[in-house]
Structure 1
Amino acid sequence: MRSRVWRSTTAVVLGGLLAAGCGSGAGDRTSPAAGKGDSTGYPVTVTDCAGAKTTFTAAPRSIVTSNASALELLLRLGAGDKVIGTGFPPGKGTLPGGLDARAQRVKVLGETVIPKEKLLGSGADLYIDTFASMNMGGGMGDAPTEEEFRAAGIKHTYLKSTACAAMAKGPVTDLSAVQDDIRSLGAVTGTGAKAEELVAGMKEKLGAVRKAVGGMPEGERPTYFFFDYDAGTKQPMAVCNRQIANAVISLAGARNVFADCDGDFTQVGWEDVIAKNPDWIQLGVRDWGSEAANEKAFDEAEQWLRSNAATKGLKAVEEDRFLRIGSERTTIAGVRNADAVEEIARTIHPGKAGRR
């Protein structure tokens, strides 16, 4: 099994950004995700997965991000100069265009989870937490308490579109939560106009795909399995109906074979995959930073499926129906989710969802 920075225990909660909250009093305003206020005024109030409020009276000056997805969105919003450190840093070459060079200049406070003492002593006034340790049973290590965050002068906010996925009331079939998160982060950092621009770009891409395949009856949609190769092959990790990937797959005109699983991720058996016998399989490997390294990883994942006695007879394997799309764009909330929807739709519905 290949080593994976985005371990299966953390993939459940990586990514996404600050979502809507409620105003706390007269003169206060909620973030745009709640449908009120403008994108630049303060105070701004956001909530965590449990509804606890955090209010900002001005833009944060020093931000620490718990992983690369939050860092990427801050860079896209134009707030990257405020980031003084990150955990789970992006590998070199994994972010597009000029984002990569800027990301590489951000101080790495932890190759995985940032150590408690280093986080509290970082000098940050905002920590954007994508790990939702509140519902991970302590799986994210020795995290600071809320009292310790307050004593250090750090506002602690959770990222909701994936961090709160396991607590969603029903299946996630669109990217509205991701778009709300982008708007909210824009409100918090004073980059609301750029946030609206990013959301508009996503909506344009998603609208074109929806026009092409959105009206397709459920029974006519091909079945689809996201094969998380980096999470391990002994017992596959399935994406359930609360995970962002379920929305990406649904919007692209396919049916997640494990959409009957309530939650975000769960381990299944290969006998379960065989019973589903998917029409298409996405080779989910993380971005290794270069086209050559990525192709090598995709080749390994495909070869494993072809050579394993339990999987070589699957319909998708026998018919060469593989998609080579990286894990991050599919399972971690961000602007590139819309790109993944486009790519999946073009591949599985070539006659309907061609290039714009």
Structure 2
Amino acid sequence: MRPRVVCGIAAAVALFATACGSGGGGSASITARAVPAGGYPVTVADCAGKETTVAKAPTRIVTSNAASLEMLLQLGAGDRVIGTGFPPGKGTLPPALVEQGAKVPVLGDKAVPKEKLLGSGADLYVDTFGAMPMMGGGATGPTEAEFAAAGIQHVYLLSTACAGTPKAAKAPRTDLAGIEDDIRRLGAVTGTAARAEELVTGMEKRIGEVRTALAGVPEDKRPSYFVFDFDAGTKQPVAVCGRQVANAVITQAGARNVFADCDADFKPGSWEDVVAKDPDWIQLAVRNRGSEEATRKAYDDAETFLRSFPATQGLKAVQEGHFVRLGSEVTTIAGVRNADAVRQIAATVHPDLVKNGQ
């Protein structure tokens, strides 16, 4: 993780879910081996291809943060989660999951301390981060030998853990296949494969409807799009790059991320860079403040800044009022709700073709 972007979207990614890693399509080739629904053993691999075989359904799961926690809640395995790090912020979980999510013990406001994780009694640790020392992986986490000695099996969300590894695809991420693979992989590991398939089918249906609606829009006619990370501060903007899951969300929504060509997930930028791109649309990406009123004020403040700041007030999107009010959590964090973000962006930037974006 780059020190400059440890706030704003990148912090939301860490605090809500994924640290700064979002591997490209490379995760698609490292999926759970095909097994019958609920069948065991299940073999999965990490970013380097090292395999872990899960012999039976885990009963005591710890998650590194709220990305993997939310996936398990969506899969119906939330009652087996005995702790998490980086707990979900107020207002960030879908309403249907809030009550159950609140019951999960918080083992660390950030990364779960090594001793607490090893002594948790868990039989499975779902890791969003991979080898990222600042975010709880690598040098600060347990070794694989220590996990084994504690009886904890260690599996990853590959769509978020593999960005900085040789397995990461170098091309921009343009679809949600890696996230769908993670949902299926966790479904296989937890014995909820049927539910995982339901979730993926629902995502593909929503995205497919958008894709069909936009099929007649040529690439060069799709609007350019900038994700403005207001929570990172206004002195220096953060570029959401091609390897970030948001690039896939934007692409599937029929827009063109103005920073898709930077080979990273996040990268410090400059207002000169943004002015040179002159985007057609700007997403006001703010973190959920915990209440509708407070979150609306954050959107208002972000828009006010862009309208008043000399470097941005002349931008095409600002002049035309082309703002997308969509939270950073559902845009930059891997999960089932990425499909909803696709539809909402598409309905905003292509209102004549895509309806019902909410």
CA distances 1:36-87 after superposition (whole Å, capped 9, x unpaired): 3323211101111111111100011111111111111111111001100011
| Distance in 2 between residues matched to 1:150 and 1:329, nearest whole Å | 34
Moved more, 267-276 or 36-45: 36-45
Counterpart AA for 2:163: A
* TM-fit CA distance, 1:3: 7.1
Matched, 1:299 2:300: yes
CA, structure 1 residues 20+119, in 2 after alignment: closer, same or farther (shift >3 Å)?
Answer: farther
| Distance in 1 between residues matched to 2:348 and 2:151, nearest whole Å | 49
Residue of structure 2 equivalent to 1:202: 203
* TM-fit CA distance, 1:162: 2.0
Contact 1:15–1:333 (CA<8 Å) still a contact in 2? no
CA distances 1:173-196 after superposition (whole Å, capped 9, x unpaired): 111111111111000000011001
CA distances 1:112-154 after superposition (whole Å, capped 9, x unpaired): 111121111111111111112x2x3x22252222222122111
Say which SS state the counterpart of residue 227 (structure 1) adopts.
strand
Matching of residues 137-176 of structure 1 within 5 Å? 138-141=133-136, 142-166=140-164, 167-176=168-177
Matching of residues 291-330 of structure 1 within 5 Å? 291-330=292-331
| Distance in 2 between residues matched to 1:244 and 1:348, nearest whole Å | 19
| Distance in 2 between residues matched to 1:75 and 1:209, nearest whole Å | 26
Counterpart AA for 2:349: I
The counterpart of 1:12, out of the listed 10, 14, 20, is 20
| Distance in 1 between residues matched to 2:239 and 2:273, nearest whole Å | 10
Runs of 5+ unmatched residues, structure 2: none
Say which SS state the counterpart of residue 61 (structure 1) adopts.
coil
Counterpart AA for 1:139: M
Residue of structure 2 equivalent to 1:25: none
* TM-fit CA distance, 1:214: 3.4
Runs of 5+ unmatched residues, structure 1: 23-29
| Distance in 2 between residues matched to 1:222 and 1:52, nearest whole Å | 41
Residue of structure 1 equivalent to 2:182: 181
**Percent identical:** 62
Counterpart AA for 2:115: E
| Distance in 2 between residues matched to 1:231 and 1:5, nearest whole Å | 7
Say which SS state the counterpart of residue 139 (structure 1) adopts.
helix
Say which SS state the counterpart of residue 95 (structure 1) adopts.
coil
* TM-fit CA distance, 1:301: 1.4
Counterpart AA for 1:333: A
Root-mean-square deviation (Å): 2.3
Matching of residues 68-87 of structure 1 within 5 Å? 68-87=66-85
* TM-fit CA distance, 1:340: 0.3
| Distance in 1 between residues matched to 2:21 and 2:261, nearest whole Å | 20
Say which SS state the counterpart of residue 104 (structure 2) adopts.
coil
Q: TM-score, normalised by structure 2?
A: 0.89
Residue of structure 1 equivalent to 2:278: 277
Counterpart AA for 2:302: A
* TM-fit CA distance, 1:15: 11
Aligned length: 341
